[in-house]
Structures are given as structure tokens and as C-alpha cells.
Amino acid sequence: MIETRYFSADGDISVYRECGRIIRKGGLVAFPTETVYGLGVNALDKDAIPKVFEAKGRPSDNPLIVHVAYPDEAEKIAHVNSTYKRLAERFMPGPLTVILPKKEIVPKEVTGGLDTVGVRCPSDLSAHKLICEANVPIAAPSANLSGAPSPTAAKHVICDMDGRIDAALLSGECSFGLESTVIALKNDGAVILRPGAVTKEELLEELSFVEISPAVTDPAMVGEAPASPGMKYKHYSPKCDFILLDCNSEKFAEFAENQKGRIAVVCGEDESHRFKCCETYIYGRTDDYKALSFSLFAFFRKADERGIEKLYARLPEKEGYGLALYNRMIRAAANRILKV
């Protein structure tokens, strides 16, 4: 156990200086981003990197994303090309991670032995200020215990990381709520390894083609050595049973209302009136996938806090923003999808 120091992200520059100093000296600092909270470490300090895996209980072959303050700082750590520059122009700073051939300066501890590195330039102002003050690129996985849902609020970080890390920079809820889109470049196109807030449709406006890695929509691929090593681990799941239903709103309610035990449902505000016996976790209008992305991981944590045995949700569409939700939800459900 170490004593974790807490700082408010609303604090003045001295807070960022101190957190930046801790990172530069090889310590661990959790910080907010626009996707989820990250657990930051100096990406160039090979002796510090293993501490991140230890704090999370994460397998060390799962590579970390490296965060930079400005898109062109990617050149310090990776070999960039014109496709990267085009994507950076449009989507950075923002929730996009691009896998690039790494430069020597990045220790293999960061990349799980791969010769590529994931580069991301977050748009969150606190993250930006921290990277600037640290004055080194920051390697950061999500700041949760391995296997638990990514943290989207300060209390999630405290719950998982208190006593395990040197400091945490705390702010409000993350604006997206799901992790960044991870892509690998291929000629003048890309392969989506993990879908996120930057959608396939948006990427297609800049690239000649965009493929989706089969592991994104097929949980049976878990364990098959997919292109993005993180995809092989069961992820994002609540401790309770999470079950997906492939049906309309009426059938959803009919089914859930007939289940026994402590049941909760993830539902839209326009369908919540149908549920009389279950707890309802309401995100916004049924088709508002942005609102669902914002709340999903918090719902997982809430269900566990409240001792829910079974949590039900409807299977989202695979288009646009829905693809990221689909990917996280089928994994959390370990592919339990019921047609009713």
C-alpha cells in the first residue's frame, strides 16, 4: 500500500507541475481524458512501466497507448506518414489512437514487445496540461483494475486505485465514456482494432477504405491472438450477469419483468414506463447511443454496488456510434445474446 495523493483538476498550475513531476520521476498518476480516466506513467522510463501493470493486475503482454500533448509529437516516438498526418489534422486532439512503427526511444515494456506503438493526443484540457508539465510522453491504460469496467468518474478511480498509485488528478465525468478508437494503418486505409467515438463512417471521409477487425464483433475471436492484444482478454464486465436481448422494446420489458431475483435493466427514458418490477438504469432516448456510451460503464459499477444478480440490456445496432457499444457490450456479456 502506498498513500495516494488526490488533486483537483480545477487546481492551478502548481497542481499540474507537481503531478507532472511525479510522472517524470517514475511515479503513477491517474488523470481524466475525454474517453475514460487513464493511469499515467513516463513512457520513456522502462523501470517505471512495470508498476502500471502491477497496479492494475494486468498481463504485461498487453501494450499501452502513449499520450502526447500535440499530434506532431508523435514523431518523437514513432515513424509517422502522410496518412497519420491527414488523420491527425481531422481527428486530433481527440479520441483516436493510431498504431505506428515505434522508434528506439520507446521501451519494449510499453509495447508488450511489439515493434509498434499506439499514439493518442487527448482533447481533454487537464490531460493536455499534465502531459505538457510532465514534459515526457505519457503511457496510460485505463485507470481500472484489470477486468473491471473502465473508470468514467473520479469515484471509480478512487475505488479501484486508492493505495496502489502515487497520485490522482480528479475531475468530473468523462465526456465520451468509452475508450478511444484504435486503428492500424494499411496502405492508404485503416483497420479498426477497437471501435470508439471516432466512427468508421467518419474515418471513411479521410481514407480510401476502412476494415473492421473480426475480433471487434466476434467474441469467439477472444483468445485467438487478435491484432490488438487487449481484445483477447475478457473486459469491461460487471461482476453480475450481464445479458443482451435481441428484440424490440415491448418484448424486452415483457421478458425482463418475468425474471426472478434482483434484476436491473438498461433502458431508454421513452421505454422506462414499461418496467414495473426491475430497477431501471436510464440513459436518455432509446436510440441515443452517445448517451448510452456516456453511462454504460457507470451502470455496470452501479449494478454491482446494488447487489444486482442479472443486468439486461438491448443489443445495439452496429452502425456509427453503435459499433463501439456493440463491441463493449458483447464482451461484457461474454456473448450471451438471447433472441426473445
Site residues for ligand TXA per CB under 6 A? 33, 35-36, 38, 62-65, 97, 99, 111, 114, 116-118, 120, 140-142, 179-180, 182, 193-194, 228-231
Return the CA Rg of the chain.
Answer: 20
The CB density around residue 261, as the number of other CB atoms within 10 Å, is: 8
Give the torsion through C-alpha atoms of 206, 130, 117, 212, to 10 deg: -40
Of the two residues 134 and 193, which places its CB atom closer to ligand TXA in the complex? 193
Query: Strand 167-170 to strand 29-31: parallel, antiparallel, or no bridges (unpaired)?
Result: parallel
- The listed partner (Mg ion, ligand TXA, none) that binds 301, CB under 5 to 8 Å by sort, is none
User: What would the x/- binding string for Mg ion be over residues 19 to 38, using CB under 5 A?
Assistant: --------------------
- The listed partner (Mg ion, ligand TXA, none) that binds 137, CB under 5 to 8 Å by sort, is none
User: What would the x/- binding string for Mg ion be over residues 139 to 178, using CB under 5 A?
Assistant: ---x------------------------------------
Dihedral sign of CA atoms 136, 141, 144, 146 in order: negative
- The grid coordinates listed for 304 are 454491482
Q: Indicate the residue whose CB is closest to ligand TXA.
A: 230
- The listed partner (Mg ion, ligand TXA, none) that binds 231, CB under 5 to 8 Å by sort, is ligand TXA
In whole angstroms, the minimum distance from the beta carbon of 39 to ligand TXA comes to 7
Compute the distance between CA of residue 338 and CA of residue 245 in angstroms, rounded to an integer.
5
In whole angstroms, the minimum distance from the beta carbon of 176 to ligand TXA comes to 8
- The listed partner (Mg ion, ligand TXA, none) that binds 65, CB under 5 to 8 Å by sort, is ligand TXA
In whole angstroms, the minimum distance from the beta carbon of 30 to Mg ion comes to 13
E-strand spans in 283-336?
310-314
- The listed partner (ligand TXA, Mg ion, none) that binds 282, CB under 5 to 8 Å by sort, is none
Name the amino acid, one letter, at 49.
I
In whole angstroms, the minimum distance from the beta carbon of 79 to Mg ion comes to 26
- The grid coordinates listed for 147 are 477486468
Distances (CA, A) of 339 to 107, 239, 252, 325: 47, 23, 10, 18
- The listed partner (ligand TXA, Mg ion, none) that binds 83, CB under 5 to 8 Å by sort, is none
DSSP, res 62: S
Give the torsion through C-alpha atoms of 223, 227, 228, 229, to 10 deg: 40
Chain residues binding Mg ion by CB under 5 A are 142
